[in-house]
């Protein structure tokens, strides 16, 4: 007789109770014995019949061995989570510990609390790393913008990289005192090695514990900040970016002392009088003009408030620049003296956006035509830049009366440029320019960014790079030129011009792009640069530039060395085009 299954898990044979047998289950529920449980999920028949809860230690279709392994893994994960929670909690301050323990007592989830603690710890670590990097950038920028030559910088970097200057740690140095002051490597080393207050550092050379060599210059620093205002000016109603009168006064002081001295953008006395009265509208001051002034001055300031991005020198004053551009749109092209002045200032703002600058300059020229002004006599017209360059030649050049027409000397300039640039006279001029850069850097440093420093350093670097590729040995100064001091070795001149270019490159984007072009061009031309020249950009890139790329540059600045090799044709050889082509550049 065939056997038949029953609901209780028994089998009967021939219907005889004595012949019934139980089939044991592999995994039974917690309430039934193995021989009584039929293994049904989620509730077995026995528990269902007796109306009681049914619980299995295993999942459906899971063996007991796999269930034990799963339970072990769960316990291990729970243990690790709790251990991490305790470890992370031990690193918190007392107020945080009390707050977290209060949440534990009210039934807070340990996993959620651990995630919160980890986020808080990561944020604090990021803040510490960011603060440390900001200080490193400040130190390196002070070094590169100081008065030292390459040997002193290299010696400082040896100590800096090897951490010999961090004996006392970061916390004991008031780094804000380094801002807006001019230092050399010796002074920086003494401050960092001993935490000596700035006012206690004297100029006589001393042997430092760190082994730094003394600078050849006697003056180690200027104790007074470079932006000490002579008059306090109101921030309102001229700018909405900052309400700090002292900051605005410092920035205006920088602009008037340095940028406006180089290029007379405005009449200082009229501008200051109108700004101090704070009664717009004014013929000599406007919100548009003030924000343009603050944007340019910020590129030579180190106050935290001028940084758009902490630690990024090229971002300084971006907020003022963007505000000025917003105000210009509101002006709707109106012709006024203040609008003309502001547009010229913005066109000269060294932010790696010279294409924008050229468009602003074109508008400024049109406004200049629209404004009524008194025609000046041709007898009082000043010489152009290239006219002054031609005047360096000792040979007699017949003078011609100046025409009242604008740019009347363009043709003569072009002839001089073609004759001078592609001949050895260009190298002589570059060697003299490098010497002038050395003298300027040794006395004034490179804290304040002036256009002629960038232009001279960039042009000299490209010209001397070209001559280093095909010349060795010293050059004799050109007797046709006035007796201006000059380097004799093209490589020495290249070292100095590129050192100054890098000093400016720690501050403004366009100089950074030019430095990148010089380095990559040297690789293309197979010019072996001095080891000191190669080391500096690596250090500057690692510390001051970080991982930022310069795709934000919108510059038509030419690569003079490659233009020369191409016969004077600049097509495809601008900064933006080349850096885009050399996107895989690494320094």
pLDDT by residue (tens digit) across 296-322? 999 888 888 888 887 777 788 889 999
Helix, strand, or coil (residue 90) = helix
**What is the rounded average pLDDT of the residues 427-436?**
87
Among the residue ranges 72-86, 239-253, 476-490, 560-574, the one predicted with the least confidence is 560-574
Note whether 453 and 535 are same-domain residues. yes
Residue 148 within a domain: no
Note whether 330 and 361 are same-domain residues. yes
Structural domain containing residue 283:
245-370
Which of the listed ranges 177-181, 381-385, 489-493 does the model predict with the highest average pLDDT?
Answer: 489-493
> How far is the C-alpha of 550 from the C-alpha of 560, rounded, in Å?
19
By the 10 Å C-beta count (0-12 exposed, 13-18 middle, 19+ buried), 84 is classed as middle
Note whether 261 and 317 are same-domain residues. yes
pLDDT at 450 over 90: no
Question: What is the β-pairing status of strands 4-5 and 16-22?
Answer: unpaired
Helix, strand, or coil (residue 498) = helix
> How far is the C-alpha of 468 from the C-alpha of 493, rounded, in Å?
10
Interacting residues of 475 by C-beta distance below 8 A, sequence separation 6+: 424, 427, 428, 431, 488, 489, 490
Give the up-direction half-sphere exposure of residue 88: CA atoms within 13 A in the CB hemisphere: 22
> How far is the C-alpha of 576 from the C-alpha of 355, rounded, in Å?
10
Note whether 288 and 313 are same-domain residues. yes
Interacting residues of 281 by C-beta distance below 8 A, sequence separation 6+: none
Note whether 430 and 541 are same-domain residues. yes
How is residue 149 annotated by DSSP?
-
Q: Which residues pair with 5 in a beta bridge?
A: 11
What pLDDT shows up at residue 395? 43
> How far is the C-alpha of 285 from the C-alpha of 248, rounded, in Å?
14
Tokens representing residue 320 in the block? 């003022």
> How far is the C-alpha of 102 from the C-alpha of 100, rounded, in Å?
5
pLDDT at 430 over 90: no
> How far is the C-alpha of 483 from the C-alpha of 458, rounded, in Å?
23
Residue 411 within a domain: no
Note whether 264 and 309 are same-domain residues. yes
Residue 407 within a domain: no
pLDDT at 406 over 70: no
Note whether 506 and 458 are same-domain residues. yes
> How far is the C-alpha of 38 from the C-alpha of 43, rounded, in Å?
10
Higher pLDDT, 149 or 388: 149
**Is residue 217 very low, low, confident or very high in pLDDT (cuts 50, 70, 90)?**
very low
pLDDT at 556 over 70: no
Asked which of 112, 128, 144 is the last residue of a domain, the reply is 128
Share of the chain above pLDDT 70, in %: 61
How is residue 237 annotated by DSSP?
T
**What is the rounded average pLDDT of the residues 141-146?**
84
Among the residue ranges 18-22, 384-388, 454-458, 540-544, the one predicted with the least confidence is 384-388
How is residue 215 annotated by DSSP?
P
Tokens representing residue 199 in the block? 């006012």
> How far is the C-alpha of 75 from the C-alpha of 32, rounded, in Å?
26
Note whether 561 and 490 are same-domain residues. yes
Note whether 33 and 77 are same-domain residues. no
Q: Would you tell me how many other CB atoms lie within 10 Å of the CB of residue 582? A: 16
Tokens representing residue 415 in the block? 């002839």
**What is the rounded average pLDDT of the residues 535-555?**
58
What pLDDT shows up at residue 204? 35
pLDDT at 285 over 60: yes
Q: How close are the terminal C-alpha atoms of the chain, in Å?
A: 92
pTM value? 0.59
Residue 230 within a domain: no
SS (H, E, C) 424-467: HHHHHHHHHHHHHHHHHHHHHCCCCCCHHHHHHHHHHHHHHHHH
**Is residue 385 very low, low, confident or very high in pLDDT (cuts 50, 70, 90)?**
very low
Tokens representing residue 316 in the block? 């300084």
pLDDT tens track for 456-495: 898 888 888 877 766 555 555 554 444 557 777 888 888 8
Note whether 11 and 68 are same-domain residues. no
Higher pLDDT, 183 or 27: 183
**What is the rounded average pLDDT of the residues 261-271?**
89
Tokens representing residue 155 in the block? 């010696």
Asked which of 338, 370, 402 is the last residue of a domain, the reply is 370
Asked which of 128, 150, 176 is the last residue of a domain, the reply is 128
> How far is the C-alpha of 308 from the C-alpha of 295, rounded, in Å?
11
Helix, strand, or coil (residue 336) = coil
SS (H, E, C) 265-276: CCCHHHHHHHHH
Residue 403 within a domain: no
Residue 209 within a domain: no
What pLDDT shows up at residue 267? 92
Question: What is the β-pairing status of strands 4-5 and 10-13?
Answer: antiparallel
pLDDT at 549 over 50: no
Residue 110 within a domain: yes
Note whether 44 and 110 are same-domain residues. no
> How far is the C-alpha of 210 from the C-alpha of 194, rounded, in Å?
10
Question: Number of folded domains in the chain?
Answer: 4
Among the residue ranges 19-33, 260-274, 359-373, 394-408, the one predicted with the least confidence is 394-408
Using only the alpha carbons of the chain, give its radius of gyration: 37
pLDDT tens track for 499-524: 898 888 888 777 887 887 788 778 77
pLDDT at 192 over 50: yes
**What is the rounded average pLDDT of the residues 134-142?**
78
Residue with tokens 């490597």: 185
Nearest to 530 by CA among 186, 159, 154, 160: 154
What pLDDT shows up at residue 248? 94
Higher pLDDT, 376 or 371: 371
Note whether 566 and 505 are same-domain residues. yes
Per the CB < 8 A criterion, the answer to whether 528 and 567 are in contact is no
User: C-alpha distances in angstroms, 386 versus 233, 314, 398, 414, 569?
Assistant: 39, 30, 16, 9, 20
Q: State the chain's mean pLDDT as an integer.
A: 71
By the 10 Å C-beta count (0-12 exposed, 13-18 middle, 19+ buried), 208 is classed as middle
**Is residue 21 very low, low, confident or very high in pLDDT (cuts 50, 70, 90)?**
low
pLDDT at 119 over 80: no
What pLDDT shows up at residue 569? 47
Tokens representing residue 454 in the block? 């960038």
What pLDDT shows up at residue 1? 46
Residue 250 within a domain: yes
**What is the rounded average pLDDT of the residues 123-133?**
55
Nearest to 195 by CA among 175, 179, 212, 213: 175
């Amino acid at each position: 007789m065939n056997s038949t299954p029953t609901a209780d898990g028994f089998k009967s044979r021939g219907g005889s109770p004595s012949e019934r047998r139980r089939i044991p289950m592999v995994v039974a529920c917690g309430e039934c014995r193995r021989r009584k449980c039929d293994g049904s999920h989620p509730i077995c028949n026995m528990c269902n019949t007796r109306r009681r809860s049914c619980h299995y230690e295993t999942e459906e279709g899971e063996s007991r061995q796999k269930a034990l392994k799963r339970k072990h893994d769960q316990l291990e994960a729970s243990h690790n989570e709790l251990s991490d929670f305790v470890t992370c909690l031990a690193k918190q301050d007392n107020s945080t510990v009390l707050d977290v323990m209060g949440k534990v007592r009210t039934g807070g989830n340990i996993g959620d609390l651990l995630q919160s603690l980890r986020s808080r710890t990561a944020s604090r670590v990021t803040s510490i790393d960011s603060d440390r990097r900001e200080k490193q950038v400040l130190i390196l920028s002070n070094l590169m913008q100081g008065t030292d030559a390459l040997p002193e910088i290299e010696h400082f970097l040896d100590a800096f990289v090897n951490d010999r200057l961090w004996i006392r740690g970061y916390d004991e140095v008031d780094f804000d005192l380094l801002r807006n002051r001019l230092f050399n490597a010796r002074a920086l080393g003494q401050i960092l090695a001993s935490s000596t207050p700035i006012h206690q550092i004297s100029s006589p050379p001393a042997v430092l514990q760190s082994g730094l060599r003394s600078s050849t210059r006697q003056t180690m620093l200027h104790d007074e900040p470079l932006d000490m205002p002579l008059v306090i000016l109101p921030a309102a109603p001229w700018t909405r970016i900052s309400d700090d009168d002292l900051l605005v006064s410092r920035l205006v002081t920088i602009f008037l002392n340095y940028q406006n001295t180089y290029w007379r953008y405005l009449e200082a006395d009229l501008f200051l009088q109108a700004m101090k009265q704070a009664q717009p509208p004014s013929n000599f001051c406007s919100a548009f003009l003030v924000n343009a002034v603050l944007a340019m001055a910020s590129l030579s300031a180190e106050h935290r408030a001028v940084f758009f991005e902490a630690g990024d020198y090229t971002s300084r004053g971006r907020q003022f620049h963007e505000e000025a551009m917003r105000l210009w749109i509101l002006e709707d092209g109106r012709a006024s003296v203040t609008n003309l002045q502001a547009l010229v200032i913005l066109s000269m703002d060294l932010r790696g956006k010279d294409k924008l600058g050229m468009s602003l300059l074109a508008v400024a020229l049109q406004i200049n035509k629209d404004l009524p002004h008194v025609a000046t006599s041709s007898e009082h017209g000043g010489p152009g830049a290239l006219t002054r360059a031609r005047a360096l030649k000792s040979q007699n050049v017949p003078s011609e009366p100046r025409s009242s027409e604008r740019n009347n000397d363009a043709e003569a300039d072009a002839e001089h440029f073609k004759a001078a640039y592609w001949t050895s006279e260009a190298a002589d001029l570059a060697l003299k320019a490098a010497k002038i850069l050395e003298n300027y850097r040794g006395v004034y440093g490179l804290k304040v960014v002036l256009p002629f420093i960038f232009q001279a350093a960039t042009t000299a670097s490209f010209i001397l790079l070209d001559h280093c590729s095909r010349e060795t040995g010293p050059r004799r100064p050109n007797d046709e030129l006035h007796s201006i001091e000059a380097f004799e070795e093209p490589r020495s001149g290249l070292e100095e011009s590129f050192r100054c270019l890098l000093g400016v490159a720690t501050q403004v984007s366009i100089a950074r792009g030019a430095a990148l072009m010089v380095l990559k061009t040297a690789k293309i031309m197979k010019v072996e640069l001095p080891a000191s020249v190669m080391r500096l950009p690596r250090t500057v890139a690692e510390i001051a530039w970080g991982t930022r790329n310069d795709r934000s540059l919108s510059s038509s600045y030419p690569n003079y060395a490659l233009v020369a090799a191409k016969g004077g044709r600049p097509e495809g050889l601008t900064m933006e085009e080349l850096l885009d082509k050399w996107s895989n550049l690494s320094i």
